[in-house]
Chains A and B, each alone.
Chain A
Amino acid sequence: MLWQCARAGGRRAHTAHGSGEQVDSLALALGLIVSLDPGFLAVVGLSLRVTATAVLIAALIGLPLGALLALKRFPGRSMVIVVVNAMMGLPPVVVGLLVFLALSRAGPLGALGLLFTPTAMIAAQTVLALPIVIAITRQIVEDLWGEYREHLLSLGLKGVRAVPTLLWDGRFSLTTGLLAAFGRASAEVGAVLIVGGNIAGSTRTMTTTIALETSKGDLPLALGLGLVLIGLTLLINAAAYGASRVGARHAV
Chain B
Amino acid sequence: MLTVSSLQKSFATDQGRLNVIDDVSFDVPEGQCYALLGPSGCGKTTTLRCVAGLEEPDSGRIEIAGRVVYDSALGINVPTHQRPIGIVFQSYAIWPHMDVFENVAYPLRVARPRIPKAEIEQRVMDVLALVGMKDVARRPAPRLSGGQQQRVALARAIVRRPALLLLDEPLSNLDAMLREQMRKELADLIARIGVTALFVTHDQAEALSLAARVAVMHKGKIAQEGAPRDIYSQPRNVFVAEFLGASNILDGRIISSDGAQALVEVGAGQRLRAKTPLPAGSAIKLLLRPERLSVSLHKPVDDSLRAQVSSVGFTGPTVDCSLTLDGAPIRVVAPADTPIKAGDEVWLTPLDRNGMVLAA
Give residues in A with beta carbon < 8 Å to B. 147-148, 150-151, 153-157, 161, 165, 168-169, 171, 249-252
Contacts and interface: CB of A to CB of B under 8 A. Distances in A.
A156 B141 contact: no
A156 B160 CA distance: 13
Given A148-B93, A157-B81, 17 more contacts: A147-B93, A150-B89, A151-B89, A153-B81, A154-B80, A154-B85, A155-B106, A155-B107, A155-B111, A156-B79, A156-B110, A169-B95, A171-B97, A251-B142, A252-B94, A252-B142, A252-B144
A250 B52 contact: no
Contacts of A165: 95
A171 B95 CA distance: 13
28 contacts: A147-B91, A147-B93, A148-B95, A150-B54, A150-B93, A151-B93, A153-B80, A153-B81, A154-B54, A154-B81, A154-B87, A155-B106, A156-B81, A156-B82, A156-B110, A157-B81, A165-B95, A168-B97, A169-B95, A249-B142, A251-B96, A251-B142, A252-B92, A252-B94, A252-B96, A252-B141, A252-B142, A252-B144
4 nearest interchain CB pairs? Answer: A156-B81, A151-B93, A252-B96, A250-B96
- Most chain B Cβ neighbours within 10 Å, of A150, A168, A249, A252: A252
Interface in B266-323: none
Interface residues of B, number: 26
B93 A169 contact: no
A148 B107 CA distance: 13
A146 to B, nearest CB: 10
A130 to B, nearest CB: 26
Contacts, number: 54
A219 to B, nearest CB: 49
B36 to A, nearest CB: 18
A161 B79 CA distance: 16
A244 to B, nearest CB: 14
A170 to B, nearest CB: 9
A95 B112 CA distance: 46
B3 interface: no
A169 B85 CA distance: 25
Interface string B79-117: 111100101010111111100000000110011100000
Contacts of A148: 93, 95
B256 interface: no
